[in-house]
Amino acid sequence: MNARAAIPGIAAPANTDLPVLAPAAARLSKNTTRERQEGAWRLELKAWYGFVLFALLLLAIGVAEAQSGGDSDRSLIATLVRWMPVILWINGNGFVLNLLISFFAMAIGTVGGAALGLGQISIYKPVRVICWSVTQFFRNSPWLVLLFAIMLLFPFEVRILGEIYSIPAWMKATIGFSLPVMANLSEVVRGAVQSIDTGQWESSEALAFSRMQQLWMIILPQCFKRMIPPWMNWYAILTMATPLCSIMGVEEAVNLAQQAMAAEDSRPELLAPFYTFLMLVFFIYCYPIARWTIYLERRYTVKN
């Protein structure tokens, strides 16, 4: 019997091995019981996370107060509370700007990553080679180097129809962050498509579907659930990486925290409470995303 013809761009072979079904019920029951026990244990831990983080912030403030020895006329708690609104949001800057950069960078990276990922499974070899090369280049480049390149190589202003428009630093940072995210999401798309059994491709070919119809009507709808957890994971990673743009002068949360400490005469005892507060803010935002990602990974996992 002749071997099956390879599907262009789809290297994953079809899996036809059937598992032994006799002990399946026992294994399923055991795994379900263990998952419930682990889930209850995690719920118990979750209740303590907030208290631990708040206690860590108070500990940092207490240590800083002890180091200061009461030399300042304003307590560290009062100083931190005074600058909290500035760090979180002031005139569109602060932590809100971190979120804005992450939203736009993720949107650009998702569109570009989907195009590159589908290009990697194209039936045309030159397209596959170009998309693979772009993906590997940006995927294996340091994020900070890409930020420096975009910030320094992009112009500060452009002329369109005789009008001069300035390009703000946060917009260049958004483009810089979108490049590595685009490359990594390209691999997510490629892996999700190649994880679909080749029988799906062969069945759609037997029904005389075109390549585009196969992707949009058969393959990609099955890939969405598999791509959601890693997509969310990369968004959380991107959000935690946005403070890198503070080096470029973007007035996000870390940059404003540094400005706040400079306004308070750069007292060294302010470092611990201010940076602990920043860690707490990012954790409160990113931790639910991470937990939701784990839940979706278990829900949409492919069972063999």
Q: How do the pLDDT tens digits run along the chain, 304 residues long?
A: 455 556 666 655 444 444 444 444 444 455 545 544 444 444 444 556 666 666 766 676 666 666 665 555 567 788 888 999 999 988 878 999 999 999 999 999 999 999 999 999 998 999 999 999 999 999 999 999 999 999 888 888 888 887 888 888 999 999 999 999 999 999 999 999 988 888 888 888 888 888 888 888 888 888 888 899 899 999 999 999 999 999 888 999 999 999 999 998 888 888 888 988 898 899 889 888 888 888 887 777 655 5
The first and second tokens of residue 22, run together, are: 């006799």
Q: Is 70 left (phi over 0), alpha (psi -120 to 50) or beta?
A: left
Angle of CA points 170, 241, 58, to nearest 5°: 110
Instruction: Quote the pLDDT of residue 253.
Output: 94
Q: pTM score > 0.85 for this model? A: no
Instruction: Quote the pLDDT of residue 238.
Output: 96
Cα–Cα distance for residue pair 194/9, rounded to 1 Å? 9
Domains and CATH numbers, the chain: 55-299 (1.10.3720.10)
Angle of CA points 80, 81, 82, to nearest 5°: 90
Of 218, 226, 156, 171, whose CA–CA distance to 195 is shortest?
Answer: 226
What distance, in Å, lies between the first and last C-alpha atoms of the chain?
27
